[in-house]
Amino acid sequence: MVRKMGVYAVLAYVIYGLFFYWYLFHFADSSLPFEYQGTKADPATFLNSRELMLSEEYSKIRNLLFFLSTPFEWLFYFLILLFGFSRAFKKWAESSSKYKLPQTAIYLIWLSFFAFVATFPLSYISHSLSKTYNISTQSFASWMKDELIDFWINYGTLMIIVPVLYWLMKKSAKRWWFYAWLLSVPFTLFMMFLQPIVIDPLYNDFYPLKNKELETKILSLAEKAQIPAEHVFEVNMADQTNSLNAYVTGIGSNARIVLWDTTLNKLSDDQILFIMAHEICHYVEKHIYIGIALYLLFSLIGLYLTYRIMNWAVRHFGKELKIPDVKDIRSLPLFFMILSMLMFTASPFSNLISRYEETRADRYAINMTQNPEEAITSFQELTRSGLSEVKPPLLVKIFRYSHPTMLDRISILEEYEVKQRAKNK
């Protein structure tokens, strides 16, 4: 039975992978609708033939890697349970210490190490792909350092969460999911508060904007929106990527707008001001706090569903999965697997909300700067630097895109440009 379940799981993953290969490389149509051809949203108007070819190739492979990576985690956790590795990790932990907390630490280091090794090939392929297409400029040593930082941050986080989670399971078999969620609220807020000042600097150097002339212009935009100027930072990314980006991070007094130095190097001041106005909207409309609220709502639903599915799985397949009880730490891979599945399932909804907020931010930015030409060229440069698709396939948009497609974004700006010209006549 165990061998059969393992074979079926691997076969299901292979069929899933073949489906997405067929979908992305043979079925999905990313060609531009006729009405957009020749417009400023048409990549043929701002990319050369080589860039168009590379963009199509890179996007297809990158999208395939995305759809393969998350279900691969599910397969990994399932096989870890099925073939008794989780049980072995617990035995090794119990033989190494008689105290509960060190046992948990040892179990987690084994599980984390095996997960790191299992997912490393896909991570490395993704890194190599971005290097091949000149998106990434990061050396292997630098990339490996970031991977190891990720590993230890994740391990440290698990060392806080897992002992508390299984203590709650033992104390309340029916309500642990709710108590875990209650504790996750202050923990999430605390981690978001720490993110910009503790975690992010482990990867890159952050400093106040160096260009004082640009800073003065940004100050003027920030003043209109009543946003403190000290929240504008730049970060060194040129040694890692050729892509452009800007984002909002942190909460409370640690909230800040961050610009990559690649953005500062490749875009004009007016283009950057449009991007800054976009980020300012996230402050003004409290998108960060809305995102936190939605995350906490999804996590409440997710923990409840995880509780129900875990109980069902252990009740029906506990013997095959080597899990005697939900509250036994051997069930942790099952917990991770179910939670990951639920997050993947919920991603179309969270992406839809995010795209709505990003569209509002684009409209806010163009109304504030009133410079559609610079806004359009900034999006064109973002497309070129990241070799991104202007019109991605439907499933890619649904599962991957937290921002509107460049087709949608540039089209909105073109409409604004047409209306502005009509007013000026």
Give bridge partners of residue 136 from the DSSP assignment: 241
From residue 384, give the alpha-carbon distance in Å to each of 30, 64, 387. Answer: 17, 20, 5
**Which of 57, 73, 147, 279 is the catalytic position?**
279
Neighbours of 291 (CB within 10 A): 17
Please name the residues in contact with 332: beta carbons below 8 A apart, sequence gap of 6 or more.
Answer: 86, 107, 111, 162, 166
Neighbours of 304 (CB within 10 A): 13
Please name the residues in contact with 90: beta carbons below 8 A apart, sequence gap of 6 or more.
Answer: 103, 107, 328, 329, 330
Rounded Cα distance between 104 and 89, Å, is 10
Using the structure block, give the residue that is written with the tokens 């990867």: 203
Q: Are 69 and 122 in contact (CB under 8 A)?
A: yes
Least Cα distance to 112 among 321, 336, 310, 341 occurs for 336
Rounded Cα distance between 381 and 391, Å, is 16
67, burial (CB in 10 Å: exposed 0-12, middle 13-18, buried 19+): buried
Q: Are 243 and 135 in contact (CB under 8 A)?
A: yes
CA–chain centroid gap for 233, Å, is: 21
Rounded Cα distance between 270 and 256, Å, is 21
Is 373 part of the annotated catalytic residue set?
Answer: no
Q: Which residues are catalytic?
A: 279
